[in-house]
């Protein structure tokens, strides 16, 4: 561990480890599997990055978010640590280059998405790599986001078939006891797994909930009262821009951030905020992973998250410098209905799933008994339109069929082609007039994809070509030309959406979904929502941080003293203290210069607050508003 401390000082410029970083690293170096539960800002990444430098070989880091992978690799390279990342959208040449660097020992950490573990091409190369350790970042995704991630996420443990002796370190900022057990089981962590937990207490953060009919007005009031850098989390991309424009109109420096912006624009906005050129970042939950900014004074959620896990992680980006900061949730009764409704939307009813299944095979002209082990290109948007269904509901039906083992969806289902105009409407109109050959395509884009002037939109080239009366190849060519001319950004999908059938087509009445699994997942989602609501609607006598700690299995009744409820309690206590002072002085005035015994005085005031009266008598004696009448110190009088 002395070598570990030297590396910490040299590479990260820290003089000592935070608890329990050193203990986690030591357990890992001794060959134990590790589950580490460290709140946001506690330094999770060092727990696997540092031991990777102490050992020969390669550390594989599995992460669910491309943005997080890119940010981690960038930060490591700034510290002169060789790292790489493989994710959807990078070229075959780039993948080969990265894997070659890993094979010859030039790379210490390789970040990949969990889906890569099921790729035959990657697995072939993977078996030849000199892997020394495996880190699973954001490990709670295995359980908390089970429905949102493809089943391949649970295949992480399959790596042990090829590398049975390498230790696994799983890290998360937020996991209940139930989720912790799920992580251990899903990753098949060894029986001697070491579990480390840092306290979820954040003594410098004041957790606050505010109810208001106008959340925007309340947000403005908060930002006007609390100085310093702030983050405002919203529920969707459109709302980030709306809130940011509102704040700018009110004289507050702001910008917005979400996954729909191109990488260059996201990087520029993030950099402006990090350098304090912008005060407030309005964003979706795409922002914040891996962001190291210590002086965030306020984190406001203008829309309520669907779990306390997500809320705590995002709120924890406030006050990493240890100074007083605020985590504010803006909440009203309408939020509750929206949260529970969102769960039902993710689970189409059984009859609809069966209808989609049957229609899918008819759409692809596959007869009963056919389709098994075959792949087909599939345009989900076109399919949904033909049958006049909502595309999101169809997609959710496909995910249920995927979970049931009937099919798998290609990565392009989750990352299709995207497009956004770089010009504003006025400049775009001028371009159309001057370049009539592009006019039809531009009009088709504007009619088909709402908001494409502000946000990156998911597109389908074949659908667009049809609406613009173009051949698909000509449409793609023109999109690339418009990109070169700075009119728009066109990001083609790395592949066409495909469905791969694992089973042959059967009669729809024979389709079997895992109803128990669906009910379990729905129940888990509803439990997380209820946990969030329990926090938002906690009784005024209940400390917010006690609610959080209890939710994560940390039994500590000690109140934080700084949340809205604790501060209210202090204010009430202060009022009572002043009332007690006034009562004593008034009563003493009645006794005049003769004085009275302390016992008689307290009994005349009321036995229920005897301790408070005795404490106040001591204060008044110290302040010399009262004095003892004799040396026995039994009688007092006004001074």
Task: Give residue-wise pLDDT tens across range 539-548.
Answer: 888 999 999 9
Closest CA to 316 of 343, 347, 285, 274: 285
CATH: 1.10.287, 2.60.40, 1.10.1390, 1.10.10. Which one for 418-491?
A: 1.10.10
Which segment of 157-161, 183-187, 312-316 scores lowest on mean pLDDT?
157-161
What does the domain layout of the chain look like in residue ranges? 2-197, 205-331+529-551, 341-414+497-513, 418-491, 564-638
Which one-letter DSSP state was computed for residue 8?
I
The residue to which tokens 């690293």 are assigned? 25
Residue 542 token pair: 């209940």
Residue scoring higher pLDDT (296 or 266)? 296
The residue to which tokens 């970040």 are assigned? 111
pLDDT above 90 covers what percent of the chain? 41
- E strands present in 182-265: 194-197, 205-210, 229-233, 254-257
CA 15/CA 566 separation, integer angstroms? 35
Q: Which residues are CB-neighbours of 433 under 8 A, at least 6 positions away? A: none
The average pLDDT across 296-325 equals 92
pLDDT at residue 299 in the model: 97
Q: Is pLDDT of 444 > 50?
A: yes
pLDDT at residue 57 in the model: 93
Residue scoring higher pLDDT (67 or 389)? 389
Q: Which CATH class is domain 341-414+497-513?
A: mainly alpha
pLDDT above 70 covers what percent of the chain? 94
CA 291/CA 270 separation, integer angstroms? 9
Out of 108-122, 181-195, 244-258, 554-568, the most confident range is 244-258
| Phi-psi group of 140: left, alpha or beta (phi > 0 → left; psi -120 to 50 → alpha; rest → beta) | alpha
Residue 476 neighbours by CB distance under 10 Å: 18
Classified by CATH at the fold level, domain 2-197 comes out as: Rossmann fold (3.40.50)
Topology match between the domains 2-197 and 205-331+529-551 = yes
The average pLDDT across 264-268 equals 82
Tell me the per-residue pLDDT of 375-415, one tens digit each, with 9 for 90 and over: 888 888 789 889 999 887 898 899 889 888 898 887 556 66
> Taking all residues of the chain, what is their mean pLDDT, rounded to a whole number?
86
Torsion over CA: 124, 130, 133, 135 (sign): negative
CA 493/CA 80 separation, integer angstroms? 32
CATH 3.40.50.300 fits 205-331+529-551, yes or no: yes
Classified by CATH at the fold level, domain 564-638 comes out as: Arc Repressor Mutant, subunit A (1.10.10)
pLDDT band at 147 (very low <50, low <70, confident <90, very high): very low
Q: Is pLDDT of 71 > 90?
A: no
Closest CA to 478 of 432, 415, 412, 430: 432
């Amino acid at each position: 561990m002395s070598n570990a401390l030297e590396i910490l000082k040299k590479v990260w410029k820290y003089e000592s480890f935070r608890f329990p970083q050193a203990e986690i690293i030591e357990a890992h170096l001794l060959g134990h599997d590790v589950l580490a539960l460290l709140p946001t800002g506690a330094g999770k990444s060092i727990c696997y990055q540092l031991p990777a430098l102490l050992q020969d070989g390669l550390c594989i880091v599995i992460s669910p978010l491309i943005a997080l992978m890119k940010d981690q690799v960038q930060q490591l390279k700034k510290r002169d640590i060789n790292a790489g990342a493989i994710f959807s959208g990078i070229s075959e040449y780039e993948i080969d280059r990265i894997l070659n660097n890993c094979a010859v020992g030039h790379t210490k950490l390789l970040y990949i998405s969990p889906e890569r573990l099921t790729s035959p091409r990657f697995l072939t190369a993977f078996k030849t790599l000199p892997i020394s350790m495996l880190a699973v970042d954001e490990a709670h995704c295995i359980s908390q986001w089970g429905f949102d991630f493809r089943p391949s996420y649970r295949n992480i443990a399959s790596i042990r078939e090829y590398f049975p002796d390498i230790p696994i370190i799983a890290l998360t900022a937020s996991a209940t006891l139930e989720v912790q057990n799920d992580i251990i089981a899903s990753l098949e962590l060894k029986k001697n797994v070491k579990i480390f937990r840092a306290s979820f207490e954040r003594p410098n953060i004041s957790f606050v909930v505010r109810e208001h009919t106008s959340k925007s007005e309340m947000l403005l009031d908060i930002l006007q009262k609390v100085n310093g850098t702030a983050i405002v989390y919203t529920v969707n991309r459109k709302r980030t821009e709306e809130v940011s424009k509102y704040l700018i109109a009110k004289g507050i420096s702001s910008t917005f951030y979400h996954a729909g912006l191109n990488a260059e624009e996201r990087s520029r906005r993030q950099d402006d905020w990090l350098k304090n050129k912008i005060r407030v970042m309005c964003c979706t939950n795409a922002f914040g992973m891996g962001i190291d900014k210590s002086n965030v004074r306020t984190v406001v959620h203008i829309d309520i998250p669907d779990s306390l896990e997500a809320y705590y992680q995002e709120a924890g980006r406030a006050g990493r410098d240890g100074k007083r900061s605020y985590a504010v949730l803006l909440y009203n009764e309408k939020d509750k209905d929206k949260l529970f409704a969102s769960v039902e939307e993710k689970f189409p009813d059984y009859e609809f799933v069966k209808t989609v299944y049957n229609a899918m095979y008819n759409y692809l002209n596959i007869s009963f008994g056919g389709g098994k082990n075959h792949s087909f290109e599939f345009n989900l948007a076109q399919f949904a339109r033909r049958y006049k269904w909502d595309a999101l509901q169809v997609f959710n039906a496909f995910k249920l069929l995927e979970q049931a083992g009937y099919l798998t969806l290609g990565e392009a289902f989750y990352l299709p082609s995207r497009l956004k105009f770089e010009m504003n409407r006025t400049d775009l109109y001028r371009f159309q007039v001057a370049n009539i050959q592009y006019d039809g395509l531009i009009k088709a884009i504007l009619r088909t994809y709402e908001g494409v002037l502000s946000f990156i939109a998911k597109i389908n080239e074949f659908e667009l070509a049809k609406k613009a009366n173009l051949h698909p190849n000509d449409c793609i060519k023109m999109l690339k030309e418009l990109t070169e001319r700075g009119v728009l950004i066109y990001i083609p999908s790395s592949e066409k959406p495909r469905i791969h059938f694992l089973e042959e087509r059967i009669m729809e009445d024979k389709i079997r979904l895992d109803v128990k699994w669906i009910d379990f997942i729905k129940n888990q989602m509803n439990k997380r929502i209820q946990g969030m609501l329990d926090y938002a609607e906690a009784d005024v006598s209940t400390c917010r941080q006690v609610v959080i700690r209890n939710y994560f299995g940390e039994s500590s009744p000690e109140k934080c003293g700084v949340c809205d409820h604790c501060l209210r309690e202090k204010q009430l206590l202060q009022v009572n203290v002043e009332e007690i002072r006034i009562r004593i002085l008034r009563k003493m005035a009645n006794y005049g210069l003769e004085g009275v015994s302390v016992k008689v005085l307290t009994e005349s005031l009321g036995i229920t607050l005897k301790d408070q009266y005795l404490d106040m008598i001591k204060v008044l004696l110290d302040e010399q508003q009262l004095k003892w009448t004799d040396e026995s110190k039994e009688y007092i009088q006004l001074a």
